[in-house]
Structure 1
Protein backbone atom coordinates (compact mmCIF):
# COMPACT_ATOMS: atom_id res chain seq x y z
CA UNK A 1 0.00 0.00 0.00
CA UNK A 2 1.33 3.43 -0.94
CA UNK A 3 1.20 6.04 1.80
CA UNK A 4 1.22 9.75 1.03
CA UNK A 5 3.54 11.09 3.73
CA UNK A 6 2.06 14.58 3.68
CA UNK A 7 -1.51 13.33 3.97
CA UNK A 8 -0.58 10.98 6.77
CA UNK A 9 1.16 13.75 8.74
CA UNK A 10 -1.80 16.07 8.18
CA UNK A 11 -4.21 13.36 9.38
CA UNK A 12 -2.16 12.97 12.56
CA UNK A 13 -2.43 16.68 13.39
CA UNK A 14 0.49 18.11 11.45
CA UNK A 15 4.27 17.96 11.64
CA UNK A 16 4.44 19.44 15.14
CA UNK A 17 1.97 16.88 16.48
CA UNK A 18 3.89 14.00 14.89
CA UNK A 19 7.19 15.33 16.24
CA UNK A 20 5.70 15.42 19.74
CA UNK A 21 4.56 11.79 19.56
CA UNK A 22 6.53 8.92 21.00
CA UNK A 23 7.72 6.27 18.59
CA UNK A 24 4.96 3.83 19.49
CA UNK A 25 2.34 6.56 19.09
CA UNK A 26 3.68 7.29 15.61
CA UNK A 27 3.49 3.64 14.64
CA UNK A 28 -0.05 3.35 15.97
CA UNK A 29 -1.05 6.51 14.08
CA UNK A 30 0.42 5.11 10.87
CA UNK A 31 -1.33 1.76 11.27
CA UNK A 32 -4.58 3.58 12.02
CA UNK A 33 -4.14 5.71 8.90
CA UNK A 34 -3.39 2.70 6.68
CA UNK A 35 -6.29 0.63 8.00
CA UNK A 36 -8.61 3.58 7.61
CA UNK A 37 -7.47 4.10 4.01
CA UNK A 38 -8.20 0.46 3.18
CA UNK A 39 -11.65 0.65 4.73
CA UNK A 40 -12.38 4.13 3.38
CA UNK A 41 -12.40 2.84 -0.18
CA UNK A 42 -15.24 0.51 0.78
CA UNK A 43 -17.14 3.08 2.83
CA UNK A 44 -17.09 5.61 0.01
CA UNK A 45 -18.86 3.18 -2.30
CA UNK A 46 -21.76 2.71 0.08
CA UNK A 47 -24.77 4.76 -0.92
CA UNK A 48 -25.63 5.73 2.63
CA UNK A 49 -22.20 7.21 3.26
CA UNK A 50 -21.95 10.98 3.25
CA UNK A 51 -19.58 12.50 0.71
CA UNK A 52 -17.74 14.18 3.59
CA UNK A 53 -16.64 11.80 6.31
CA UNK A 54 -16.47 13.11 9.87
CA UNK A 55 -13.14 12.65 11.62
CA UNK A 56 -12.71 10.09 14.34
CA UNK A 57 -11.38 11.59 17.59
CA UNK A 58 -7.65 10.90 17.84
CA UNK A 59 -6.81 7.61 19.53
CA UNK A 60 -10.30 6.19 19.18
CA UNK A 61 -11.56 3.66 16.68
CA UNK A 62 -14.12 3.76 13.92
CA UNK A 63 -16.93 2.83 16.30
CA UNK A 64 -16.63 6.41 17.54
CA UNK A 65 -17.05 7.87 14.04
CA UNK A 66 -20.15 10.08 14.06
CA UNK A 67 -22.85 8.72 11.75
CA UNK A 68 -26.21 10.10 10.72
CA UNK A 69 -27.98 6.76 11.00
CA UNK A 70 -26.29 5.25 14.05
CA UNK A 71 -25.50 1.57 14.34
CA UNK A 72 -27.69 -1.30 13.29
CA UNK A 73 -28.91 -3.04 16.47
CA UNK A 74 -27.15 -6.27 17.39
CA UNK A 75 -29.22 -9.46 17.70
CA UNK A 76 -29.87 -10.83 21.17
CA UNK A 77 -27.41 -13.69 20.70
CA UNK A 78 -24.80 -11.92 18.60
CA UNK A 79 -22.10 -13.99 16.91
CA UNK A 80 -18.67 -13.00 15.67
CA UNK A 81 -20.17 -12.70 12.19
CA UNK A 82 -22.66 -10.15 13.54
CA UNK A 83 -19.82 -8.09 14.98
CA UNK A 84 -17.97 -8.18 11.67
CA UNK A 85 -21.00 -7.21 9.59
CA UNK A 86 -22.50 -4.64 11.99
CA UNK A 87 -19.51 -3.14 13.80
CA UNK A 88 -16.15 -4.03 12.23
CA UNK A 89 -16.99 -3.86 8.51
CA UNK A 90 -15.39 -3.49 6.10
CA UNK A 91 -12.32 -4.73 8.05
CA UNK A 92 -10.31 -5.33 4.89
CA UNK A 93 -6.92 -5.64 6.58
CA UNK A 94 -7.87 -8.47 8.96
CA UNK A 95 -9.85 -10.26 6.26
CA UNK A 96 -6.83 -10.09 3.94
CA UNK A 97 -4.61 -11.33 6.74
CA UNK A 98 -6.88 -14.27 7.55
CA UNK A 99 -7.25 -15.12 3.86
CA UNK A 100 -3.46 -15.17 3.48
CA UNK A 101 -3.25 -17.55 6.45
CA UNK A 102 -5.82 -19.83 4.80
CA UNK A 103 -3.99 -19.74 1.46
CA UNK A 104 -0.67 -20.65 3.09
CA UNK A 105 -2.14 -23.58 5.01
CA UNK A 106 -1.89 -22.19 8.53
CA UNK A 107 -3.72 -23.92 11.40
CA UNK A 108 -7.19 -22.74 12.35
CA UNK A 109 -5.97 -20.92 15.47
CA UNK A 110 -3.54 -18.86 13.37
CA UNK A 111 -6.27 -18.00 10.88
CA UNK A 112 -8.48 -16.97 13.80
CA UNK A 113 -5.71 -14.82 15.31
CA UNK A 114 -5.21 -13.14 11.93
CA UNK A 115 -8.93 -12.45 11.75
CA UNK A 116 -9.01 -10.85 15.21
CA UNK A 117 -5.58 -9.25 15.55
CA UNK A 118 -6.58 -5.68 14.69
CA UNK A 119 -10.34 -5.52 15.28
CA UNK A 120 -9.75 -3.81 18.63
CA UNK A 121 -8.72 -0.79 16.58
CA UNK A 122 -12.42 -0.21 16.07
CA UNK A 123 -12.45 0.80 19.75
CA UNK A 124 -8.98 2.11 20.53
CA UNK A 125 -5.82 2.67 18.51
CA UNK A 126 -3.07 2.90 21.13
CA UNK A 127 -1.61 -0.45 22.20
CA UNK A 128 -4.29 -2.26 20.23
CA UNK A 129 -2.51 -5.62 20.51
CA UNK A 130 -2.45 -5.48 24.29
CA UNK A 131 -6.08 -4.38 24.53
CA UNK A 132 -7.18 -6.96 21.96
CA UNK A 133 -5.49 -9.80 23.82
CA UNK A 134 -7.28 -8.84 27.03
CA UNK A 135 -10.60 -8.56 25.24
CA UNK A 136 -10.44 -11.98 23.59
CA UNK A 137 -8.39 -14.00 26.11
CA UNK A 138 -11.40 -15.32 28.07
CA UNK A 139 -12.94 -16.73 24.89
CA UNK A 140 -10.13 -18.09 22.72
CA UNK A 141 -7.22 -20.52 22.80
CA UNK A 142 -4.36 -18.96 24.79
CA UNK A 143 -2.17 -19.07 21.67
CA UNK A 144 -4.65 -16.89 19.80
CA UNK A 145 -4.63 -14.27 22.57
CA UNK A 146 -0.83 -14.50 22.74
CA UNK A 147 -0.51 -13.87 19.00
CA UNK A 148 -2.86 -10.88 19.17
CA UNK A 149 -0.87 -9.34 22.01
CA UNK A 150 2.64 -9.84 20.68
CA UNK A 151 2.04 -9.02 17.02
CA UNK A 152 2.16 -5.39 18.14
CA UNK A 153 5.76 -5.69 19.32
CA UNK A 154 7.00 -8.12 16.68
CA UNK A 155 6.07 -5.86 13.76
CA UNK A 156 9.10 -3.67 14.56
CA UNK A 157 11.66 -6.47 14.43
CA UNK A 158 12.66 -8.34 11.26
CA UNK A 159 12.99 -12.10 11.15
CA UNK A 160 14.63 -13.54 8.04
CA UNK A 161 13.59 -17.07 9.01
CA UNK A 162 9.96 -16.25 8.27
CA UNK A 163 10.60 -13.68 5.54
CA UNK A 164 9.55 -10.70 7.64
CA UNK A 165 11.45 -7.51 6.89
CA UNK A 166 11.36 -4.27 8.82
CA UNK A 167 8.65 -2.13 7.20
CA UNK A 168 10.36 0.24 4.79
CA UNK A 169 7.36 2.50 5.27
CA UNK A 170 8.51 3.24 8.82
CA UNK A 171 11.80 4.52 7.43
CA UNK A 172 10.02 6.65 4.84
CA UNK A 173 7.48 8.10 7.25
CA UNK A 174 9.48 8.44 10.47
CA UNK A 175 13.12 8.25 9.39
CA UNK A 176 15.80 5.63 9.82
CA UNK A 177 16.33 6.55 13.49
CA UNK A 178 12.90 5.23 14.47
CA UNK A 179 13.00 3.20 17.68
CA UNK A 180 10.14 1.40 19.42
CA UNK A 181 9.44 2.30 23.03
CA UNK A 182 11.28 0.38 25.74
CA UNK A 183 8.26 -1.72 26.74
CA UNK A 184 7.87 -2.84 23.12
CA UNK A 185 11.53 -3.92 23.00
CA UNK A 186 11.12 -5.77 26.30
CA UNK A 187 8.07 -7.61 24.98
CA UNK A 188 9.90 -8.47 21.77
CA UNK A 189 12.75 -10.05 23.74
CA UNK A 190 10.27 -11.98 25.84
CA UNK A 191 8.31 -13.12 22.79
CA UNK A 192 11.43 -14.04 20.82
CA UNK A 193 12.37 -16.64 23.42
CA UNK A 194 8.86 -17.91 24.12
CA UNK A 195 7.53 -21.26 22.92
CA UNK A 196 4.62 -19.43 21.24
CA UNK A 197 6.88 -17.09 19.26
CA UNK A 198 5.78 -18.39 15.87
CA UNK A 199 2.11 -17.99 16.78
CA UNK A 200 2.50 -14.23 16.43
CA UNK A 201 4.99 -14.36 13.56
CA UNK A 202 2.77 -16.30 11.19
Structure 2
Protein backbone atom coordinates (compact mmCIF):
# COMPACT_ATOMS: atom_id res chain seq x y z
CA UNK A 1 0.00 0.00 0.00
CA UNK A 2 1.26 3.41 -0.96
CA UNK A 3 1.16 6.28 1.56
CA UNK A 4 0.05 9.71 0.32
CA UNK A 5 3.23 11.39 1.70
CA UNK A 6 6.80 10.24 1.67
CA UNK A 7 8.76 10.44 4.91
CA UNK A 8 10.61 13.53 3.61
CA UNK A 9 7.36 15.28 2.57
CA UNK A 10 5.77 14.47 5.93
CA UNK A 11 8.79 15.84 7.81
CA UNK A 12 8.71 19.07 5.77
CA UNK A 13 4.95 19.47 6.28
CA UNK A 14 5.34 18.82 10.01
CA UNK A 15 8.12 21.43 10.32
CA UNK A 16 6.03 23.94 8.37
CA UNK A 17 3.05 23.28 10.66
CA UNK A 18 5.20 23.82 13.76
CA UNK A 19 6.58 27.05 12.30
CA UNK A 20 3.09 28.36 11.52
CA UNK A 21 1.92 27.39 15.00
CA UNK A 22 4.85 29.27 16.58
CA UNK A 23 4.11 32.35 14.48
CA UNK A 24 0.42 32.13 15.36
CA UNK A 25 1.17 31.90 19.08
CA UNK A 26 3.60 34.81 18.84
CA UNK A 27 1.07 37.07 17.14
CA UNK A 28 -1.75 36.15 19.49
CA UNK A 29 0.27 36.72 22.67
CA UNK A 30 0.03 40.41 23.67
CA UNK A 31 3.33 40.32 25.58
CA UNK A 32 5.23 40.08 22.30
CA UNK A 33 3.78 43.25 20.82
CA UNK A 34 4.21 46.12 23.24
CA UNK A 35 4.90 49.76 22.57
CA UNK A 36 6.37 52.19 25.04
CA UNK A 37 4.74 55.19 23.34
CA UNK A 38 7.90 57.28 22.97
CA UNK A 39 11.20 57.26 21.08
CA UNK A 40 13.73 57.64 23.91
CA UNK A 41 13.84 58.31 27.64
CA UNK A 42 14.06 61.76 29.19
CA UNK A 43 15.31 62.44 32.72
CA UNK A 44 14.06 64.23 35.82
CA UNK A 45 16.08 65.39 38.83
CA UNK A 46 15.34 67.60 41.84
CA UNK A 47 16.65 71.14 41.56
CA UNK A 48 15.80 73.84 44.09
CA UNK A 49 13.13 71.54 45.52
CA UNK A 50 11.18 70.96 42.27
CA UNK A 51 11.35 68.45 39.41
CA UNK A 52 13.70 69.56 36.64
CA UNK A 53 13.60 67.93 33.19
CA UNK A 54 16.15 67.27 30.44
CA UNK A 55 17.13 64.87 27.68
CA UNK A 56 20.69 63.52 27.80
CA UNK A 57 22.09 64.08 24.31
CA UNK A 58 25.23 65.66 22.86
CA UNK A 59 25.47 69.43 23.47
CA UNK A 60 26.65 70.08 19.91
CA UNK A 61 23.26 69.04 18.52
CA UNK A 62 21.43 72.15 17.28
CA UNK A 63 18.28 73.19 19.11
CA UNK A 64 15.27 71.82 17.27
CA UNK A 65 12.58 74.25 16.13
CA UNK A 66 9.18 73.41 17.57
CA UNK A 67 10.16 71.79 20.85
CA UNK A 68 7.71 71.40 23.69
CA UNK A 69 7.62 70.11 27.24
CA UNK A 70 4.46 68.87 28.88
CA UNK A 71 3.84 67.26 32.25
CA UNK A 72 0.72 65.14 32.62
CA UNK A 73 -0.95 62.95 35.17
CA UNK A 74 -0.91 59.38 33.91
CA UNK A 75 -4.31 58.82 32.32
CA UNK A 76 -5.27 62.34 33.35
CA UNK A 77 -4.98 66.00 32.46
CA UNK A 78 -1.96 68.07 31.48
CA UNK A 79 -0.56 69.93 34.47
CA UNK A 80 1.90 72.13 32.53
CA UNK A 81 2.78 72.65 28.85
CA UNK A 82 5.31 74.99 27.25
CA UNK A 83 6.29 75.39 23.61
CA UNK A 84 9.42 76.93 22.07
CA UNK A 85 9.27 77.45 18.32
CA UNK A 86 12.26 79.66 17.49
CA UNK A 87 15.09 77.15 17.82
CA UNK A 88 17.14 79.87 19.56
CA UNK A 89 16.82 78.62 23.12
CA UNK A 90 19.07 75.61 23.80
CA UNK A 91 17.37 72.28 24.20
CA UNK A 92 17.83 71.09 27.79
CA UNK A 93 20.44 68.41 27.15
CA UNK A 94 22.00 68.02 30.60
CA UNK A 95 21.22 68.34 34.30
CA UNK A 96 22.84 71.80 34.23
CA UNK A 97 20.38 72.93 31.51
CA UNK A 98 17.26 71.25 32.92
CA UNK A 99 13.93 73.06 32.91
CA UNK A 100 12.37 73.36 36.36
CA UNK A 101 8.67 72.64 36.67
CA UNK A 102 6.70 75.85 36.31
CA UNK A 103 9.36 77.85 34.46
CA UNK A 104 9.53 78.44 30.73
CA UNK A 105 12.07 78.89 28.03
CA UNK A 106 12.67 82.62 27.57
CA UNK A 107 11.63 82.37 23.91
CA UNK A 108 8.81 79.93 24.62
CA UNK A 109 5.10 80.19 25.16
CA UNK A 110 3.11 78.75 28.05
CA UNK A 111 0.21 76.74 26.64
CA UNK A 112 -0.98 75.33 30.01
CA UNK A 113 -0.08 77.16 33.21
CA UNK A 114 1.55 74.96 35.86
CA UNK A 115 -0.82 73.34 38.34
CA UNK A 116 0.51 72.31 41.75
CA UNK A 117 2.01 68.82 41.69
CA UNK A 118 0.64 66.37 44.25
CA UNK A 119 2.32 63.73 46.37
CA UNK A 120 1.57 60.13 45.34
CA UNK A 121 0.30 60.91 41.82
CA UNK A 122 1.90 59.19 38.78
CA UNK A 123 3.16 61.84 36.32
CA UNK A 124 5.07 61.74 33.08
CA UNK A 125 6.95 64.47 31.24
CA UNK A 126 7.24 64.51 27.45
CA UNK A 127 9.74 66.47 25.40
CA UNK A 128 8.33 66.72 21.91
CA UNK A 129 10.57 67.51 18.95
CA UNK A 130 10.94 65.46 15.81
CA UNK A 131 11.11 62.66 18.42
CA UNK A 132 9.28 62.05 21.68
CA UNK A 133 11.29 61.72 24.91
CA UNK A 134 9.52 60.63 28.12
CA UNK A 135 10.23 60.20 31.82
CA UNK A 136 7.82 58.86 34.44
CA UNK A 137 7.93 59.96 38.07
CA UNK A 138 6.03 60.45 41.31
CA UNK A 139 6.53 62.81 44.21
CA UNK A 140 6.98 61.83 47.84
CA UNK A 141 8.37 63.48 50.96
CA UNK A 142 11.00 62.11 53.28
CA UNK A 143 10.85 62.25 57.08
CA UNK A 144 12.29 65.78 56.99
CA UNK A 145 9.58 66.99 54.58
CA UNK A 146 11.98 67.20 51.63
CA UNK A 147 10.55 66.43 48.17
CA UNK A 148 11.68 63.14 46.62
CA UNK A 149 11.18 61.65 43.17
CA UNK A 150 9.92 58.07 43.23
CA UNK A 151 8.96 55.40 40.70
CA UNK A 152 5.57 54.39 39.37
CA UNK A 153 4.06 51.06 40.28
CA UNK A 154 4.03 48.62 37.36
CA UNK A 155 0.35 49.26 36.68
CA UNK A 156 0.95 53.02 36.26
CA UNK A 157 -2.01 53.78 38.53
CA UNK A 158 -0.14 54.56 41.72
CA UNK A 159 3.31 55.33 43.07
CA UNK A 160 5.89 53.31 44.95
CA UNK A 161 8.30 54.38 47.66
CA UNK A 162 11.27 53.36 45.48
CA UNK A 163 13.58 56.32 44.93
CA UNK A 164 13.87 57.27 41.24
CA UNK A 165 17.44 58.64 41.23
CA UNK A 166 20.52 57.47 43.13
CA UNK A 167 21.24 61.05 44.27
CA UNK A 168 17.93 61.09 46.19
CA UNK A 169 18.65 57.95 48.21
CA UNK A 170 19.39 58.64 51.88
CA UNK A 171 22.95 58.19 53.08
CA UNK A 172 23.86 55.47 55.55
CA UNK A 173 24.05 58.17 58.23
CA UNK A 174 20.50 59.35 57.43
CA UNK A 175 19.14 55.79 57.45
CA UNK A 176 20.76 55.03 60.82
CA UNK A 177 19.82 58.18 62.71
CA UNK A 178 16.63 59.56 61.18
CA UNK A 179 13.31 58.84 62.83
TM-score, normalised via structure 1 length? 0.25
Higher strand share goes to which structure? 2
Structure (1 or 2) with the larger CA radius of gyration:
2
More helix by share: 1
